[in-house]
A and B are shown apart, each in its own frame.
Chain A
Amino acid sequence: GAGVSQSPSNKVTEKGKDVELRCDPISGHTALYWYRQSLGQGLEFLIYFQGNSAPDKSGLPSDRFSAERTGGSVSTLTIQRTQQEDSAVYLCASSLYPRGRGETQYFGPGTRLLVL
């Protein structure tokens, strides 16, 4: 079956512009995560969605970052007024069950964002 897909695969934008990144999780997966991966760094947790529950936004680095998940499926990560330090790979992952159960997370290929 299809895995996690993300679009666009690459995005180049100018400082100050807004960007939207999209994630399509595996069908039927209730949990969805966004991570940021900077060059040479590990994966930094951003936000977690589980079903219809309020998302865990504790990893968002600033109020310029927001995310939503419509209909319990597709998710969009929005970065407003982009800064050069936002340049990174943004990864989305989904899992069948909620976090805290040692569930495998399946990652998408990521969106490579470059802010000029």
Chain B
Amino acid sequence: GENVEQHPSTLSVQEGDSAVIKCTYSDSASNYFPWYKQELGKGPQLIIDIRSNVGEKKDQRIAVTLNKTAKHFSLHITETQPEDSAVYFCAASTAGGSQGNLIFGKGTKLSVKP
């Protein structure tokens, strides 16, 4: 089955710097890759997703890139702000199949220091 590895487990940056979180997946059939942000005491919230027919997607300060050949995808946050501090999870699934469960990475705790 699918396995998703996420690195780093913790990341500390200064406000205004960029942050990059990387994930690798094992199942070449996976074609849907969402990123979730989880703030303390809350459930995860989708912040951006990408499908396998796209190599990059941007939404304001957030971007995600996908390399299907290498089976890895990354989250990029530019001009970080203290409110970006949270745990970020990547996930992968095989959209279009009868299964399609999201398999999550173990999370990255991002701390943005003012």
Interface assignment of A105: CB less than 8 Å from any CB of chain B: yes
Chain A interface residue count, CB cutoff 8 Å, equals: 23
Residues 1-39 of chain B: 1 if any A CB is under 8 Å from the residue's CB, otherwise 0?
A: 000101000000000000000000000000110101000
The range of chain B's interface size is 20 to 34
User: Could you say which of A41, A99, A104 contacts B49, with CB atoms under 8 Å apart?
Assistant: A104
Complex Cα gap A56–B102 (Å): 13
Interface SS, A side: loop
Quote the shortest CB–CB distance from B46 to chain A (angstroms): 5
Quote the shortest CB–CB distance from B92 to chain A (angstroms): 11
Interface SS, B side: loop
User: Could you say which of A45, A99, A102, A107 contacts B44, with CB atoms under 8 Å apart?
Assistant: A107
For window 61-114 of B, CB contacts with A under 8 Å fall at 89, 91, 93-107
Contact B95 A105 (CB under 8 A): no
Contact B43 A41 (CB under 8 A): no
Contact B43 A109 (CB under 8 A): yes
**Interface set of B (CB-CB < 8 Å, partner A):** 4, 6, 31-32, 34, 36, 41-46, 49, 51, 89, 91, 93-107
